[in-house]
Structure 1
Amino acid sequence: MKDSRYFTPAELAKLFGISKQLLLYYDKNDIFSPEFVDENGYRFYVLSQYFTLQIIISLRKLDVSLKEIKAYLKSKDINLLKDIYRNKQQEYKKQIEELLYLEKTMQQKISFLNDIQNLPLNQILLELQEEEHLYFSEDISFQTPIKHRMNILAKHMLPVFSHPSFQEYLMGFHYDSNEFFYEGLITQYNVFISANSKLHYNNPIKKTKEKGLY
């Protein structure tokens, strides 16, 4: 059917640079359906639907959910649209805070590397450090197969990597000082983590390094 009052799916999709499959997806999910389907199954959109699709595309670019879009299109309530925008605004604020935190962390890392690079090797240095919480793994015997030892290490690191946001952490190995200074006598060790926020462990071995000069 050739009628200047209607768009075919291909024509409408071309206007927005989207696929016909996306229009079909919106139709199947009762978001945006053609005005009518003829006896041969051809689908047609009226000219006014261009503006409705424009709203959908714009909201999707803001990552608004299809459920929220569907509710707004059904009611056309301006207060509901304002709520949608407010919710997205709060999400963006949170993302900005997280990005600023990451930017600050990266600068700290760069400064730390600069300090190491410029560290004099013929001097004893004292530095004021904040209180630090250290999380220790279970004892790991050197007699344990390497694969099992790696499993223990990975399990201990998991709370850092599974945290929803980037976590600054320090990982190290702890040896018994009495064994360390006698060659061949080290029998076991622990993995420890020092992180910039509380980590969730079941029955953690936790120690606190007091604030002071080190």
Structure 2
Amino acid sequence: MKKFYKIGDVSKIYNISTDILRYYEKIGLLIPDSRKENGYRYYSEKQLWKLSNIRNLRKLGVGLKEITEFLETRSITKTEKMIDFQLEKIDKTIEQLLLLKSELENKKNNIIYFKNFKDYEKPMIKELDERYIYLTQGIFKEESEINLELKRLKDKVEEENDFLFTESEIGTIISQEDWEIGKYNDYSGTFIISKDKTNTTLEKGIYLTYFFKGDYKNIDEHYEKIKIYMDRNKYKAKGNIIELYHIEIHITENKNEYVTEIQIPLAKL
């Protein structure tokens, strides 16, 4: 005996609202097999199969118009093309998920690394490779301004490049001139380090690197400490100062857990 389902039953089985089912009926996508005089709609198992296809295709981003045309004029050739389309979409989704997984794993490893990190407030000299960045130039003084601008930059870059920045390093720039006169809270740019080539770079060279933990409000003390070290060791800055935010507001609300790295390009006096 052929089984029929009321619209409410279909709604519960597929966790889909009755309003959507009525809309599908209105546009001719999924018409009930019968409607009784009392207005009840009844769907056959064939209609449920059709609804399953509709839902699967919608999840893959197929438009309602394309779904309607496919279901109305199905053929072996069209089904084969639709399957190829679905496989392509699935492969792309898998690729994106694997990328996201890799980035989340890297971020977790970064958090673990800094949970065990001990070399805070110790100036160290390192050679750093050239790094490509997405940069927004401007004048930023407040932490809230920097966070807002970094968010805008991330949104812009993701929109233009279809790339996930879950793990990407973020930072700010202080001009060498401002830094030398002690204007440590005046930032001339915000940036995101990119894995791909861009038009802007942080130059390769010898850098003084300095990690500190905690609130940014004490940053003056750290910069003064760095200047004393540079004077003693006959170093001078030869470019803009970089701040990298390894652990920041997007990871923790506790400012005591923040980890910031200062990088200063060096030359000998």
Query: For this structure pair, what is the TM-score category when the shorter chain's length is used for normalisation?
Result: 0.5 to 0.7
In the alignment, is the contact (CA less than 8 A) between 1:171 and 1:191 conserved in 2?
Answer: no
Q: 1:125 to 1:21 in 2, by over 3 A?
A: same
Gaps of 5+ in 1: none
Query: Which residue in 1 is equivalent to 2:155?
Result: 161
Q: Secondary structure at the match of 1:191?
A: strand
Q: Give the deviation of 1:37 after TM superposition.
A: 5.1
Query: Which residue in 2 is equivalent to 1:138?
Result: 137
Aligned partner letter, 1:170: E
Q: 1:99 to 1:119 in 2, by over 3 A?
A: farther
In the alignment, is the contact (CA less than 8 A) between 2:149 and 2:190 conserved in 1?
Answer: no
1:55 pairs with one of 50, 60, 79: 50
Name the CA distance, whole Å, in 2 between partners of 1:123 and 1:58: 61
Query: Which residue in 2 is equivalent to 1:190?
Result: 188
Query: Which residue in 1 is equivalent to 2:24?
Result: 26
Q: 1:136 to 1:26 in 2, by over 3 A?
A: closer
Range that drifts further, 169-178 or 89-98: 169-178
Range that drifts further, 65-74 or 22-31: 65-74
Q: Secondary structure at the match of 1:192?
A: strand
Name the CA distance, whole Å, in 2 between partners of 1:9 and 1:181: 76
Q: Secondary structure at the match of 1:174?
A: strand
Name the CA distance, whole Å, in 2 between partners of 1:197 and 1:12: 50
Gaps of 5+ in 2: 208-269
Pairing of 1:1-40 with structure 2 (within 5 A): 7=4, 9-10=6-7, 13=10, 16=13, 20-35=18-33, 40=37
In the alignment, is the contact (CA less than 8 A) between 1:173 and 1:189 conserved in 2?
Answer: yes
Query: Which residue in 2 is equivalent to 1:172?
Result: 171
Aligned residues: 197
Q: Give the deviation of 1:31 after TM superposition.
A: 1.1
In the alignment, is the contact (CA less than 8 A) between 1:160 and 1:199 conserved in 2?
Answer: no
Residue deviations 1:55-78 (CA, integer Å, cap 9, x gap): 322441452543333222211212
Name the CA distance, whole Å, in 1 between partners of 2:185 and 2:119: 34
Q: TM-score, normalised by structure 2?
A: 0.55
Name the CA distance, whole Å, in 2 between partners of 1:20 and 1:140: 53
Q: TM-score, normalised by structure 1?
A: 0.66
Name the CA distance, whole Å, in 1 between partners of 2:185 and 2:13: 67
State which structure, 1 or 2, has the greater radius of gyration over its C-alpha atoms: 1
Q: Give the deviation of 1:139 after TM superposition.
A: 4.2
Query: Which residue in 1 is equivalent to 2:216?
Result: none
In the alignment, is the contact (CA less than 8 A) between 1:8 and 1:43 conserved in 2?
Answer: no
The answer to which structure, 1 or 2, has the higher relative contact order (CA under 8 A, 6+ apart) is 1
Q: How well do the aligned residues superpose, as a CA RMSD in angstroms?
A: 4.0
Q: Give the deviation of 1:87 after TM superposition.
A: 1.2
Name the CA distance, whole Å, in 1 between partners of 2:35 and 2:130: 70
Query: Which residue in 2 is equivalent to 1:96?
Result: 94
| 2:203 is equivalent to residue 209 of structure 1 | yes
Pairing of 1:112-127 with structure 2 (within 5 A): 112-116=110-114, 117-121=116-120
Residue deviations 1:97-147 (CA, integer Å, cap 9, x gap): 1111122222222333343323445976566644212444334276xxx69
**Structure in which a larger fraction of residues adopt strand:** 2
Aligned partner letter, 2:153: P
In the alignment, is the contact (CA less than 8 A) between 1:136 and 1:190 conserved in 2?
Answer: no
Q: Aligned residues: percent identity?
A: 17
Name the CA distance, whole Å, in 2 between partners of 1:96 and 1:186: 44
In the alignment, is the contact (CA less than 8 A) between 1:7 and 1:44 conserved in 2?
Answer: no
